[in-house]
Every structure is written in C-alpha cells, then in structure tokens.
C-alpha cells in the first residue's frame, strides 16, 4: 500500500522484504535487530524531504511495473485452476 501511494517504505533487511524493496531506490532497508540502523533510516527520511519524495516516486513506478492488476488476476486464476 505504501508503494502504491508513493510513500517511503522502511523495512528490515530480510528475505521477502529485500525482494520487494530496492535499498535507497524504492525504500530503505535497515539491519535486523539494529535499532540504530532503523533510527538512521527514519531520521534520513525526516530530514531529507527530497529523499523521501524520490523514494516514494520510485516506489510507485516500481509497483506499477511489477504488480500489474491484470497479470495478478491471471496468476491467481492459474493457481486456483490447478
């Protein structure tokens, strides 16, 4: 939802999230169990408005490219018909 709405995503650098978010392009990844890394990411977005806007814009473009509605429906239908 955040990517669709051009909002910055800050997430743990774990499998799954790492696949969705391209660090420093569509969002920010922080080290697992590293409060300082999370804090730095959050403060970066708060202090650098242009960074936040750029990440949000990139996230929306990436979302549109990867999560096409028609393709998702087709994929679900393929799974259901198995």
Is the pLDDT at 75 greater than 90? The verdict is no
- Mean pLDDT across the stretch 37-45? 94
- Per the prediction, the chain carries an average pLDDT of 93
Q: For the residues 29-58, what does the mean pLDDT come to?
A: 94
3-state secondary structure the chain: CCCCCCCCCEEECCCCHHHHCCECCCEEEECCCCHHHHHHHHHHHHHCHHHHHHHHHHHHHHHHHHCCHHHHHHHHHHHHCC
pTM: 0.79
């Amino acid at each position: 939802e955040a990517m669709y709405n051009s909002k910055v995503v800050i997430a743990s650098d774990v499998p799954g999230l790492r696949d969705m978010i391209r660090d420093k392009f569509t969002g920010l990844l922080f080290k697992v169990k590293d409060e300082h890394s999370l804090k730095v990411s959050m403060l970066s977005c708060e202090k650098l408005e242009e960074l936040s806007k750029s990440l949000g814009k990139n996230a929306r473009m990436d979302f549109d490219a990867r999560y096409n509605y028609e393709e998702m429906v087709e994929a679900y239908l393929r799974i259901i018909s198995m």
